Amino acid sequence: MAVFLEILKYAVPAILVVFVTYLMLSNYFDNEEKQRKYLLKRENQKSSLPLRMAAYERMVLFLERISPNSLLVRIPAGKLGLRDYQSLLQKSIRDEFEHNLSQQVYLSDEAWLRVVQAKASMVGIINKIASEIEPSVPGLELSKRILEYSMSTEEFPTKKAIYFLKAELRDEL
């Protein structure tokens, strides 16, 4: 029994030292890994920030281009009929959107959702106003009504989305 106690006298402290050493080394390596991940993330953010800012700029430009003031000036009705002009406006919005689809990679999910909603709202407004007009009238009437509607609305969907994008970008910087 004395031999057993003698072995325990040396074994218990040795086991405790090994256990404490294991905990310390484990904690040290975990902290080192976290620090490496943090430094890598910070470095990635430095390089991706210009890309993100460019994406926000492009989406603001897209929203400005599909807002009534810009869209109707850029795409004049000319001598087009109502349905032809409506289709031309929708095609322009769709083309602009498709041109900027890749920017969603750099935007937050909420920001991208706001952009998609603004685009859908703009197409919906065009369709709603066009449905309220006699199909035989020229496209110029659609243009006038869309402008009147946009002036009577305090917060147009494209403006709301632009405000959101600006606020989100300011929060990130």
| pLDDT at residue 113, rounded to an integer | 96
Q: What is the pTM of this model?
A: 0.74
Return the pLDDT at 161.
94
What one-letter code names the amino acid at 12? V
Task: Phi first, then psi: give them for residue 152, nearest 5 degrees.
Answer: -85, -15
The low-confidence residues of the chain, meaning pLDDT below 50, are none
Question: Three-state secondary structure along 63-89?
Answer: HHHHCHHHHHHHCCCCCCEHHHHHHHH
Write the CA distances from 84 to 68, 161, 165, integer angstroms. 17, 28, 33
What is the pLDDT at residue 129? 93
d(CA 31, CA 20): 17
Q: What is the pLDDT of residue 40?
A: 84
pLDDT in tens, 15-63: 898 899 999 999 999 999 999 988 888 877 777 788 888 999 999 999 9
The rounded distance, in Å, linking the Cα atoms of 158 and 93 is 12
Backbone angles phi, psi at 81, to 5 degrees: -75, 170
Distance CA 20, CA 74 (A): 73
pLDDT of residue 33: 93
The per-residue pLDDT for 14 is: 86
Q: What is the DSSP string of 95-155?
A: HHHHHTGGGGGTS-HHHHHHHHHHHHHHHHHHHHHHHTS-TTSBHHHHHHHHHHHHHH-SS
Question: What six digits make up the tokens of 36?
Answer: 């490496």
**H-helix or E-strand spanning residue 11:** helix 2-66
pLDDT at 121: 95
Which of 32-57 are b and which e, b meaning 16 or more Cβ less than 10 Å from the residue's Cβ? Answer: eeeeeeeeeeeeeeeeeeeebeebbe
